[in-house]
Amino acid sequence: MVAGLLDGAADISPWQVVLQAVDWLPFAHVDSGLAPVEQGLLYELRLPRVLVAAVVGGLLAMAGAGYQGVFRNPLADPYLLGAAAGAGLAATAVIVLLPSAEGSVPIAAFAGAVGGVFLAYTLGNTAGRAGGTATLVLAGVAVTSFLTAIQTFVQQFKVEELQRIYAWILGDVGGGWDQLWLVLPYAAVSAVLLLVHGRMLDVLSVGDEEATSLGVRASRVRFTVLLAASLATASAVAVSGLIGFVGIVVPHVVRRLAGGSYRSVLPLSMIGGAAFLVLADLVARTVLAPAELPIGVVTMFVGAPFFVGVLRMTRRAVT
């Protein structure tokens, strides 16, 4: 996060940036020597960007860990149940059909993500419980395909808006303080719900029957974790667009380093996800400076090869 504050177009001494960051801490009073304009640049542009990246990264990584615990699959993704497709459709609809209401894109994306997950969960339940988590995954795939098709159809009404639509889809964490205040309440609720269910996810990992024999209601735990992970995903998508692979890369690395207990995986994924996305944003701002690379492109460059590696390791484990 300090590295994120140091990077920018304005030529500000790193030491002064560090002093100013210390001055922002509670009960700390340090004279950084920065002019008011430079302080404003740090406070209004760099600091909220770093904080939004940290919150979004932490949410996506925790959501990924939660989904992986519920589905007992290390390849489960925060966008598994149609959250990304629902958010993309809602954001596209606002940009194309309601251009005067551009400020409502985050709210629409949040509602769309929640709606996509609700559709997938409802569709999965209509098949009964026989399919278990596999039925939910298939329902998520079906809903994602359907909503993506509608989004493509809506885009045809205003082809000239495609650049704005794809800019949102590829992700951005530069929304400022308003975006941070928008996501924080949902982030707090979803993070608390996921963290307190870490032990129960450990119990679920041995199977539903064994969990029931130990006094854990598997269906209730699964629903609560899915709800919290989907809320985390929806709130992250609402302020940042669609940033992929964070929920796969970070929990998998954490699991390799700290073991498989979700009491450790969930909080460490939150911290690791925050660090990962702040670093990805730092790369996005510097690799083509003064131009800026969409942050989603950076996470794809890291995540796609990593995903292939996880697939190969999973295959070896199965064989």
**The predicted structure's pLDDT at residue 129:** 56
pTM, 2 dp: 0.88
Instruction: Supply the DSSP symbol for 205.
Output: T
Residue 167, CA distances (Å) to 25, 84, 163, 222 in order: 34, 15, 6, 34
Structural contact between residues 299 and 244, judged by C-beta atoms closer than 8 angstroms: yes
What would the DSSP string read from start to end of 241-288?
Answer: ----SHHHHHHHHHHHHH-S-HHHHHHHHHHHHHHHHHHHHHHHHHTT
**The predicted structure's pLDDT at residue 81:** 84
φ, ψ (nearest 5 deg) of residue 313: -65, -35
**The predicted structure's pLDDT at residue 266:** 95
Number of domains in the chain: 1
| Structure-block tokens of residue 127 | 């098949």
Give the integer Cα–Cα distance in Å for 267 and 65. Answer: 10
Output the domain CATH number for residue 18. Answer: 1.10.3470.10
**The predicted structure's pLDDT at residue 316:** 61
**The predicted structure's pLDDT at residue 314:** 63
**The predicted structure's pLDDT at residue 277:** 95
User: If we measure between CA atoms, which residue out of 229, 225, 233, 235 comes closest to residue 186?
Assistant: 235
**The predicted structure's pLDDT at residue 22:** 83
**The predicted structure's pLDDT at residue 319:** 54
Report the SS3 class of residue 79: coil
- Domain range for 79: 1-317
pLDDT by 10-residue block (mean), the chain, 319 residues: 82 82 80 82 88 95 91 81 88 83 80 88 72 75 91 84 82 86 91 92 78 76 88 89 89 90 94 95 86 88 81 63
| Structure-block tokens of residue 140 | 């998520």
**The predicted structure's pLDDT at residue 127:** 65
φ, ψ (nearest 5 deg) of residue 245: 75, -10
Structural contact between residues 202 and 263, judged by C-beta atoms closer than 8 angstroms: yes
**The predicted structure's pLDDT at residue 30:** 81
**The predicted structure's pLDDT at residue 275:** 95
**The predicted structure's pLDDT at residue 132:** 61
**The predicted structure's pLDDT at residue 102:** 64
